[in-house]
Amino acid sequence: PPERSMAAKEDLYSRILPRRLRHQRPGSARGASSLDVLLSMGFPRARA
């Protein structure tokens, strides 16, 4: 079912995102928000 693949995606993302956030500086809210925009559009986090 679709819900299962969504959960799998979120699990994958939750592993990738914290690693990326650590590379960003604490003040770079723009970087985080652009990531969120890309994610909401369906782009994979790894390419964002």
Q: What is the pTM of this model?
A: 0.28
CA distance 25 to 14: 19
pLDDT at 22: 60
Residue 33 in contact with residue 21, Cβ under 8 Å? Answer: no
pLDDT in tens, 1-48: 678 887 888 887 777 766 666 655 555 555 566 767 766 766 565 554
pLDDT at 43: 59
So what's the pLDDT on residue 48?
A: 47
Domain boundaries, the chain: 2-41
- Residue 41: its pLDDT value, please? 67
User: Given this model, what pLDDT does residue 14 score?
Assistant: 75
Please, are residues 46 and 16 in contact by the beta-carbon 8 Å criterion? Answer: yes
